[in-house]
Amino acid sequence: QEAQLSQLRDTPAMTVDGIRIHLEANIELPSEAQAAFEIGADGIGLFRSEFLFMGRKDLPSENEQFEAYARVVQTMQGRPVTIRTLDIGADKTLDGEQTVATNPALGLRAIRYCLAHPELFQTQLRALLRASQFGLVRILIPMISTMEEVHAVRQALDKAEQSLIADGVPYAKQIQLGAMVEVPAIAIAIEPFAQHLDFLSIGTNDLIQYVMAVDRADADVADLYDPMHPAVLRLIAHTINRAEVYGKPVSVCGEMAGDVRLTRMLLGLGLRCFSMPAAQIPRVKQEILSSHSAALRLKVATALNRAERIDLHKLLEK
């Protein structure tokens, strides 16, 4: 069966009714990109850049970051590479930094942290712009909760560009900017984000945590951490449907995307791009190859507004 799965490498993920689904890889270190390429990933859907920053005393320099990002872009040979800016805070902290936040998951985390540390953010943005010379780079901003943050990021990106021009450092202009949809507020009021950004990526790990008020790492309440809760599914559906109106691509890069038991549900919600650990791609692809997207979409849409979790599970039985 493993051999069968590996044969799927060069088969595009296409549903029975001919819808091409993009299957991308999540990585934490540049060295993982090669395996993603080899298993046939359509791109990198999430490079968690914080792993370059963790477990060390100093911050990675612009050049060190540039080399790490460029390596991933070059490894992927023209397939798109989505690099998420530093998502620090909550469960991930920088060495030597003591959090005093009473509730770090709701505190100065991710983009909030970066906007509060503009020099650190500029260094990363310059490195990302420079790496975009070698292929298609998409910058992904974590924990966005307001349009003001989006505007502040655009300004920071403009500033980074201006400084590269002033220094005569080469970079490419076709860089795309997108946001993680993981704060419920923006999933509910998604329109301006879909309008003003180039793409969206739903971070279901955090979205579920914040929708359900359940710490994603707390085993005592793990049974309440439920990807199949209708509230979670409706937010995903809403994000996908609204983004469609603005012609913007949406992916899911949380754990849900790599869970083969949820593939048909996500197809039914209208999802066209999944990002997951590379090793899970063949199995999810296999599921897609035997799924009828339009039939699933009809099924899920009619059930979603009244269904309980249990009905939703039934719905997916073949």
Footprint on this chain of ligand PEP (rule: CB under 6 A): 46, 48, 87, 182, 203-206, 253-254
Q: How far is the CB of 172 from ligand PEP (least distance, A)?
A: 26
Residue 93, token pair as written in the block: 């902290």
Choose the contact partner of 204 out of ligand PEP, Mg ion, none; CB within 5 to 8 A by kind.
ligand PEP
Q: Which of 30, 40, 184, 203 binds Mg ion (CB under 5 A)?
A: 203
Closest CB to Mg ion among 45 and 203? 203
Closest CB to ligand PEP among 251 and 293? 251
Point out which residues pair with 26 in neighbouring strands: 46, 277
Closest CB to ligand PEP among 142 and 230? 142
Reference 229, options 214, 244, 218, 251; nearest CA is 214
Binding flag, residue 227, Mg ion (CB under 5 A): no
Q: How far is the CB of 208 from ligand PEP (least distance, A)?
A: 8
Cα–Cα distance, 208 to 211 (Å, whole number): 5
Span from 154-162, 206-214, 283-291, 300-308 in contact with Mg ion (CB under 5 A): 206-214
Q: Which of 24, 32, 42, 206 binds Mg ion (CB under 5 A)?
A: 206
CA end-to-end span of the chain, whole Å? Answer: 21
Choose the contact partner of 253 out of ligand PEP, Mg ion, none; CB within 5 to 8 A by kind.
ligand PEP
Closest CB to Mg ion among 71 and 92? 92
Q: How far is the CB of 110 from ligand PEP (least distance, A)?
A: 8
Which residue type is seen at 221? V
The count of other CB atoms within 10 Å of the CB of residue 138 is 24
The count of other CB atoms within 10 Å of the CB of residue 7 is 10
Q: How far is the CB of 88 from ligand PEP (least distance, A)?
A: 11
Reference 29, options 76, 79, 69, 77; nearest CA is 69
3-state secondary structure of 302: helix
Handedness of CA 123, 125, 128, 129 (dihedral sign): negative
Residue 253, token pair as written in the block: 């890069």
H helix runs in 213-260, sequence order: 230-245
Is 36 within 8 Å of 278 (Cβ atoms)? yes
Residue 53, token pair as written in the block: 């920053």
Choose the contact partner of 268 out of ligand PEP, Mg ion, none; CB within 5 to 8 A by kind.
none
Phi and psi angles of residue 44, each rounded to the nearest 5 degrees, phi first: -100, 120
Span from 36-44, 120-128, 147-155, 201-209 in contact with Mg ion (CB under 5 A): 201-209
Cα–Cα distance, 216 to 287 (Å, whole number): 27
Closest CB to ligand PEP among 127 and 140? 140
Closest CB to Mg ion among 149 and 206? 206
Choose the contact partner of 48 out of Mg ion, ligand PEP, none; CB within 5 to 8 A by kind.
ligand PEP
Q: Which residues here bind Mg ion, judged by CB under 5 A?
A: 182, 203, 206
